[in-house]
Amino acid sequence: MQKVNCDECNKKDCPQKLKGSVCVLNKELKGLALTYESRDPIVIARRFITVLESEISRYEEAKKHEGIGQKEQISYLNSEGQVETKWVTKGLDSRVSVLAFNILKAGKLINDIVNPPKLNPLWQQNNQYNIHLGAANEIRLLPEDQKQDVVKFIDDKLDAARENQELPGPSHA
């Protein structure tokens, strides 16, 4: 089983280990972390869910067009090269099944990101976390010098976000 979360990994001295983050040694998650420019499991899950919602819409449309049990007229060339037509009953379309399977696989991946499998599956407990409170609690637990660095980092990010926002008011063109 591939690891999903650094907290559940038992690999010693991993250079990529980051408390509370997704494991980028997992090839699937590394791609998501690079795409979404984050190792935060909640950020990745939320962004990935928007992609998944699009796939679900495609699946719903594909199911409608699949038309299992409906009659369909098809044309084909017989052995003499003549075009013949006949009515057939529509069956399962393997492309629709592939979409369904991909949706299920993506759903499992999202679940694993948010509630990673534990090292000891007998003690698996899936929780919904208030991410903001969890992050604040983790910052409180840091040593004082690291706490100041983290708070400064967050402040700098917030300041940069504020600077990039347009200010309301008349334009000065």
Domains contained in the chain, number = 2
Question: Model's pTM, two decimal places?
Answer: 0.53
pLDDT, one tens digit per residue, over 103-127 is 888 888 888 888 776 655 555 555 5
15/71 same-domain check? yes
59/80 same-domain check? yes
80/151 same-domain check? no
pLDDT, one tens digit per residue, over 19-62 is 888 888 888 888 888 888 888 888 888 888 888 888 888 988 98
139/72 same-domain check? no
CA neighbours within 13 Å on the CB side: how many for 40?
A: 11
96/158 same-domain check? no
Residue 34 resides in a domain: yes
103/138 same-domain check? no
81/141 same-domain check? no
What average pLDDT score do residues 140-149 get?
A: 73
Domain limits at 143?
Answer: 129-165
Residues 6 or more apart in contact with residue 44 via CB below 8 angstroms: 22, 29, 32, 33, 36, 38, 113
78/110 same-domain check? yes
106/45 same-domain check? yes
